Amino acid sequence: MAELQTGAAPVVDAVQPPLIRLDAVEKVYRSGRVEYRALRGVDLEIEPGDMVAIVGPSGSGKSTIMNMITGIDRPTAGTVTVDGNRIDLMSEEELAVWRGARVGVVFQFFQLLPTLTALENAMLPLDFSRSVAKRERPLVAMRNLEMVGLADKADSLPSELSGGQQQRVAIARALAADPPLLIGDEPTGNLDTQTASEMFDLLRRLNADGSTVMYVTHDRELAARANRTVTIRDGVVAE
């Protein structure tokens, strides 16, 4: 009788789960008897290491989706899972700790504290989260300022910086805790075309270094430079 040959089982690559997953997410804002449905059942998955542009007309729900993913707002229905965490179930305190460690947010209008230097602004999340020893926080913040090309402006106040430089400080601040996810809500919308392009190049480099990047933009040219474009229209993913 022929001898039965046995061999090693084939190696199967584990499927990596999406970093971000929205399932049937709805958001209804209410003011008295008036209701506004900002999101109408959004299903969306973003893979780790991807670079995704969110586009759509004003009022389509783009920023609301960003607020769902960062835990700034909560869904009326549906689930939001980020990096394996059901953030729609977290308490406000849990969200604050999670957000400080796992997500960096860059806003259109920079939102730097005017009385703090660039270094102090870049260090601010570390002071709040206390995730890094106090003596090491300036070193981490300076490293991030160097990454965005502003080490020589560490002692400058925001009023002494150009718009592009202020946005670079905002990115350095978002990188404080070395988060796996970097989110921009119109991060280049308050910049001229050349400076906006430079900002995008910086986000591209961060993405190449392993960060997952999502950003809302009205600029179709900048959106086209992402790996993937998601169009939102009337509160749903259109394409």
Asked if residue 10 belongs to a domain, the reply is no
Q: Using one digit for the tens of pLDDT, what is the confidence trace for 138-186? A: 999 999 999 888 999 999 999 999 988 998 899 899 988 888 899 998 8
CA dist., res. 179 & res. 171, Å (int):
12
For the chain, the domain total comes to 1
Range of the domain at 192: 49-74+84-237
Reported pTM: 0.83
122-155: b (≥16 Cβ within 10 Å) or e: bbbbbeeeeebeeeebbebbbebbebbebeebbe
Q: What average pLDDT does this structure show over 35-58?
A: 94
Asked if residue 9 belongs to a domain, the reply is no
Give me the CATH number covering residue 58. 3.40.50.300
Output the pLDDT for position 232. 94
Average pLDDT, the chain: 88
* Lowest-confidence segment of 4-18, 69-83, 150-164 by average pLDDT: 4-18
CA dist., res. 1 & res. 3, Å (int):
6
Asked if residue 89 belongs to a domain, the reply is yes
* Lowest-confidence segment of 68-77, 120-129, 161-170 by average pLDDT: 120-129
Asked if residue 1 belongs to a domain, the reply is no
Asked if residue 142 belongs to a domain, the reply is yes
Asked if residue 3 belongs to a domain, the reply is no
Phi-psi region of 73 (alpha: psi -120 to 50; beta: other; left: phi over 0): beta
